[in-house]
Amino acid sequence: MAKMLALDCEAHSAPAGPTAAIEINNISKRFVSALGEIVALDRVSFDVYPQEFLSIIGPSGCGKSTLLGLIAELEAPSAGSIRIGGMPPSRARLARQVGLVFQDAVLLPWRTVEENVALPFEVMKIPEDQCRDQIAQALKLVKLDGFENRFPHELSGGMRQRLGIARALSFDPQILLMDEPFGALDAITRDKMTIELLNIWEQRKKTVVFITHSITEAVFLSDRVVVMTPRPGRIRAVIDNHLPRPRTLAMRDEPAFTATARQLREFLEYD
Ligand code: ADP
Ligand code: MG
């Protein structure tokens, strides 16, 4: 725990101002498969600002997950560089600055709700008595307090996704990377989850990079939206979203919302 606190202080003592939370500099990623070489990402550059909610939208295969994997250091780029709070992704990962949420919550079915959230702490070898409060806080944040002893199969799809978010936030990373986290949910649950995610983001002041297929979701959640195109994966546009906050579902019918949605659609239908 002492170690975590020290790392936390280090992160907070970074100079305030224009330092980007994430810098993506001229990233390319090639995969070699039996079918030949695939250029998953071709010279992609953009910054994510501290505490920004940034979405990435684009059709299947345009390199969204690859890009997130590079930020999370699940893979290495073929060219270019990434900095997270000024650090290489490897250091950011060791400093536990990055939390990840996937489309399916990737829960361990034989572990209870509480034990699933405890997993990152076990990996970090932090004794149970030192992380109990953080686990309880994370479960409270996603409104799963009271469900500590349930198993994943006893939860609804929305609750499982909330559990995935609790696990990603439990060690208080500055950055949350989300890969189509609500893609498998029904429309009503999805609406609820987007509102809950905005509440969490406003309470915890995280930098969020959110991948989605949904224009509505991108406009509803984001400060900016990066539009990508496939083969090779490139950035087509970065759109500022001026929809005021706090956001409500009713705003989806407002002209400011539909104008940004139309702009996104035009960039996506450009081909
Ligand atoms: P998205 O998330 O936007 O749907 P991905 O990042 O998953 O796209 O994939 C981008 C491209 O890279 C696709 O053509 C995909 O088939 C290819 N790709 C992704 N991962 C691998 C891999 N490990 N090996 C080979 N090709 C891959
Ligand atoms: Mg993907």
Domain with 258 in it = 3-97+173-268
Position 73, amino acid: E
- Give the pLDDT score at 106: 84
Q: Looking at residue 34, which CATH number applies to its domain?
A: 3.40.50.300
Longest Cα pair distance anywhere in the chain, in angstroms?
A: 55
Q: Ligand nearest 69 Cα, by number?
A: 1
pLDDT averaged over every residue in the chain = 90
Which pTM does this prediction carry?
Answer: 0.90
User: Is the Cβ atom of 40 under 6 angstroms away from ligand 1?
Assistant: yes
CA of 247 to the centre of ligand 2 (A): 26
pLDDT tens digits, one per residue of 141-171: 999 999 999 999 999 999 999 999 999 999 8
Give me the torsion for CA of 171, 174, 168, 178, rounded to 10°: -170
User: Is the Cβ atom of 61 under 6 angstroms away from ligand 1?
Assistant: yes
- Give the pLDDT score at 35: 84
pLDDT tens digits, one per residue of 193-240: 999 999 999 998 999 999 999 999 999 999 999 999 999 999 999 999
Position 30, amino acid: R
User: Is the Cβ atom of 7 under 6 angstroms away from ligand 1?
Assistant: no
- Give the pLDDT score at 94: 86
Atom of ligand 1 nearest to the CA of 60: 4
Judged by DSSP in three states, 208 sits in: strand
Would you say residue 158 lies in a domain?
A: no
What phi and psi values does residue 147 have, to the nearest 5 degrees?
A: -110, 15
User: Is the Cβ atom of 38 under 6 angstroms away from ligand 1?
Assistant: yes
Atom of ligand 1 nearest to the CA of 69: 6
Would you say residue 136 lies in a domain?
A: no
pLDDT tens digits, one per residue of 86-110: 999 999 988 889 999 988 778 999 9
Would you say residue 126 lies in a domain?
A: no
Would you say residue 213 lies in a domain?
A: yes
Structure tokens at 13: 């003592």
Please identify which residue in the block is written with the tokens 């940004």.
260
Would you say residue 128 lies in a domain?
A: no
CA distances from 71 to 21, 85, 126, 196 (A): 11, 12, 25, 24
Would you say residue 132 lies in a domain?
A: no
| Cα atoms in the Cβ-side hemisphere of radius 13 Å centred on 57 | 26
Q: pLDDT-derived band of residue 18, with 50, 70 and 90 as boundaries?
A: low
Cβ atoms < 10 Å from Cβ of 51:
15
- Total number of domains in the chain: 1
Would you say residue 77 lies in a domain?
A: yes
Would you say residue 124 lies in a domain?
A: no
| Beta strand pairing call for 36-48 and 22-33 | antiparallel
**pLDDT above 90: residue 45:** yes
